[in-house]
Amino acid sequence: MVRTAVLVSGGGLNLQALIDASMFGEMPDCGLSAVISSNPDAYALKRAERAGIPAYVVDRALFPSQTVFGFAILDKLRDLDIELVVLAGFNCELTQPILKHYSGRIIDTYSSLVPAFTDAGLSGQGIQEAALAAGVKLSGATVHFVADDPNARAIILQKAVAVRENDTPASLQLRILEEAESLILPRAVALFCAGRLSFANGAVHIAGDQSAGIETLTK
């Protein structure tokens, strides 16, 4: 069982997707061992409490710098013997000590089909604003490993979502979250915890039967 911590800052919809997947046996090798929030008022903490997952607050507002805050997060992860870190709406930048200690063991999502719309400064609904301005017909979500270079996202899984004529940045962002991110994030975590992910030539490869992963992506 891989001891996994989920880092959050807000509502925790992706955290809920992980909780649900765990309850339904879809991540049999993953132990959701901790939820750590940078925000003491995050609703994600209530989701963790209801699911019986130990929850901790490392309040960003109480630390004088991102560096000091980063060491506090790292200390908590180490104290809990965490093996895998999953970012689920965590709105704080990870510092180098965390990235180094957990290299190849931090999973995050991005609300586009990477490498599309990954320009510096794009985040949140800004990603969808850029997508709609470009007139794309398909958007979607990517689950990837976090690296030292924020532009070097090693893609684990992706899922496309159709763009509708009447979409706004908010409606497109929500549909990507519900129809893509919440499906492929638990799947990627399950693959990692089962030892089925590996790196070669800068790309992530999935060992074993590929059909299950393909089916997940094309539903």
DSSP line for 68-89: HHHHHHHHHHHHTT--EEEESS
Which residue, among 41, 88, 97, has the nearest Cα to 66 in the 3D structure? 97
Just give the CATH number of 110-219.
3.40.50.170
Structure tokens at 158: 């992706």
Q: Are strands 84-87 and 106-110 parallel, antiparallel or unpaired?
A: parallel
Reported as a single tens digit per residue, the pLDDT across 24-75 is: 999 999 999 999 999 999 999 999 999 999 999 999 999 999 999 999 999 9
Task: Name the architecture of domain 1-102.
Answer: 3-Layer(aba) Sandwich (3.40)
Sign of the dihedral defined by the CA atoms of residues 26, 32, 36, 40, in that order: positive
Predicted local distance difference test score (pLDDT) of residue 121: 81
Same fold, 1-102 and 110-219: yes
Coil/strand/helix, residue 24: coil
Give the start-to-end residue ranges of the domains of the chain: 1-102, 110-219
pLDDT per position in the chain (219 positions), as tens? Answer: 999 999 999 999 999 999 999 999 999 999 999 999 999 999 999 999 999 999 999 999 999 999 999 999 999 999 999 999 999 999 999 999 999 999 999 999 999 999 999 987 888 899 999 999 999 999 999 999 998 776 678 999 999 999 999 999 999 999 999 999 999 999 999 999 999 999 888 799 999 855 444 434 444
Predicted local distance difference test score (pLDDT) of residue 217: 45
The Cα–Cα gap between 167 and 26 comes to: 32
Host H or E run for residue 131: helix 125-134
Structure tokens at 206: 């999935």
Q: By CB neighbour count within 10 A (0-12 exposed, 13-18 middle, 19+ buried), where does 5 fall? A: buried
Predicted local distance difference test score (pLDDT) of residue 218: 40
